Amino acid sequence: MKIVVEQVSKKYKDKVAIDNLSFEIEGPAIVGFLGHNGAGKTTLLNIFASLISATSGKVLINGEEVFDNTNAMKQICFIAETDNFFNQLTISQLFKSNQLFYENWDQEYASQLLNRFKLNEKLKIKNLSKGMTSALGIIMGLACRTPIVIFDEPYIGLDAASRSLFYDLLLEEYTENPRLFIMSTHLIDEVADLFNEVIILQEGKLLLKDSYMNIQQKLFKVKGKKQDVESFINGKKVIHHSSFLNEVHALVKLNNQEAAQLKTHSVLSFEPIKLQELMILLSKQYREEI
Amino acid sequence: MKKMSAMLLYLFYQLRYETVLFWSINALFMFSFTIISLIYPDKINFTIMPSGPIYVLVIVVGTKWITRSLSYLLRLGVSRKLYALGSLLFTLLYTFVHCLIILLFYGIFKFLSITDFDSLDFLHPSQFIFSDLSTMLTFTFTPSPWQIFITDFIIINCIMLISMLISILFHRLGKLGGYSILAGILFLFTLSLTFGWLSKLFEIIMNTNIVLNLIYLLVFIIALATTYYFSTKKISIYCTLK
């Protein structure tokens, strides 16, 4: 399972939603697709799922261009924030048609998931609450068993308990049937530990693409007195820097040796950066650079 | 093939409820008129056209077609080519079912008219298409079942395809673009009325053999279907001009 993005741009009239992006995603993995509102996440995910075309560039799925390509499209299940299902259908009718749409649709698993989320298959989709509709989208994404599943903000209206259930199920499903799950979310810290890889977009550009482990092992928030911090960060890659009274906070990217050095530092305090904070700081840095 | 069946099943589920509801209301109205006519045969005389409301229904279904099906089906992995072909196939099947139901109603009413029941008149476009000028104006021509079927099949298909094309027009060009083009078409129509082009066309149709006219209509339907097929190429789930 490999998605290759080659110099993809998408323009809406004068607005550039995606700006000459190039990167690769390889599965099986759970990939976090992060960014502020309007960063271009949904646009890019829509291009992945062939729902819209790119203005220029191409997206390849396992070597085949995805746009309107039946072979590539059948490898993807796309669950959007809303409007995933026609609301006149009952859940059982939806599942019946899904058996035909998805080659590997697991009906038994879908029924089990319905029980876990306490949904009745006789219910009409139009009568479901927002949270129940989101749960149905999640069930569809997990039971479709396509090699690539895209969740674009899948849990609107879903309570904390159901979100936690979703994370457990996602992990369970990923372990039993390893696939490529791409998840766009704003509840970053809640889900960060699930990610193998993280992609952060900002104004249509790629801000960061790295494994979650690397981020945790290489990016540190260093705190201490101004002179101590300044002397430590000197010559290192500083992503963000701020000071309050005499205390200085710096986000630095370190190699293994530097990280070990920091861990034994007697004066400075440090902690690995949280993903949400990293995204905010990277965005700030990006804006300042512009 | 599996995806095509899935798409047809999905569209069937999608439209089943409103089609059943529509036919129930339509049948209720027609039978109410029939019963009233039976009770008061000398006082009330009704003229009903069972297929008339269907034409309105297919305009509604057709103009909402893209909004109600495109994004759902593309998300389910249906390619644009399959979407276009599936939509056209579904239109044929949908029209076929409506035509059968219309025919059933005409059958029931014809049975009633055999029993000396004449306070209810039926109007059908086939009375104009298949009759000559003398019987057309006096409404004395009684169309055969196949004439009713074929007329409705062609008319409903034409209306449905034109409505589907309008839905693509609005989807691609947005409200402003869609209404502008419709206004342009309306302007051309007004011009053709003013300069008498339409009456000339009507004259030509009247003087042409019925079978030939039907062939022209079929060609027109094929042209509409082809336009629909090509207009869904590279279509996005969002308005193109957004």
> Is there a contact between A89 and B13 if contact means CB atoms under 8 Å apart?
yes
pLDDT value at B242 more than 60: no
Q: What is the interface pTM, i.e. ipTM, of the complex?
A: 0.83
Residues of chain A with CATH 3.40.50.300: 2-203
Model confidence band, residue B239 (pLDDT cutoffs 50, 70, 90) = low
Please report whether residue B237 resides in a domain.
no
**CA atoms in the 13 A half-sphere facing the CB of A117:** 34
CA distances from B176 to B170, B188, B228 (A): 8, 18, 21
- Range in A38-47, B46-55, B61-70 the model is least confident about: B46-55
CA distance B228 to B230: 6
Question: By the CB < 8 Å criterion, does B2 face chain A?
Answer: yes
Record: fold of A214-289: Alpha-Beta Plaits (3.30.70)
CB atoms within 10 A of CB A148: 24
CATH code of domain A2-203: 3.40.50.300
**Which residues does chain A have within 8 Å of residue B10's beta carbon, measured at their own beta carbons?**
86, 89, 97, 101
| A42–chain B nearest CA distance, Å | 12
Residues of chain A with CATH 3.30.70: 214-289
CA distance A108 to B51: 45
Please report whether residue B209 resides in a domain.
yes
Considering only the beta carbons, identify the residue of A13, A52, A100 that sits closest to B237. Answer: A52
Q: In this structure, what is the dihedral angle of CA atoms B219, B223, B225, B226, given to the nearest 10 degrees?
A: 130
Number of domains in chain B: 1
**CA atoms in the 13 A half-sphere facing the CB of A274:** 8
pLDDT score for B241:
52
Please report whether residue B176 resides in a domain.
yes
> Is there a contact between A51 and B237 if contact means CB atoms under 8 Å apart?
yes
Model confidence band, residue B109 (pLDDT cutoffs 50, 70, 90) = confident
| A51–chain B nearest CA distance, Å | 6
CB atoms within 10 A of CB B190: 10
CA distance A112 to A281: 41
Element (H, E) at A73: helix A70-73
Read off the pTM.
Answer: 0.84
Please report whether residue B242 resides in a domain.
no
Question: If 0-12 CB within 10 Å is exposed, 13-18 middle and 19+ buried, where does residue B102 land?
Answer: buried
Asked if residues A154 and A183 have their Cβ atoms less than 8 Å apart, the reply is yes
Please report whether residue B137 resides in a domain.
yes
Strand partners, A174: none
pLDDT score for A128:
92
Question: If 0-12 CB within 10 Å is exposed, 13-18 middle and 19+ buried, where does residue A22 land?
Answer: exposed
Which residue range(s) make up the domain with B134? 2-231
pLDDT value at B47 more than 80: no
Please report whether residue B236 resides in a domain.
no
pLDDT score for B136:
61
Question: By the CB < 8 Å criterion, does B1 face chain A?
Answer: no
Return per-residue pLDDT of chain A as tens, 290 residues.
899 999 999 998 888 899 999 999 998 999 999 988 888 999 999 999 999 999 999 999 999 999 988 889 889 999 998 888 888 889 999 999 899 899 999 999 999 999 999 999 999 999 999 999 999 999 999 999 999 999 999 888 889 999 999 999 999 999 999 999 999 988 888 888 899 999 999 888 888 888 888 888 888 888 888 888 888 888 888 888 888 877 888 888 888 777 777 777 777 788 888 888 888 887 777 666 65
- DSSP letter at A75? T
Nearest residue to A77 via CA among A154, A34, A141: A141
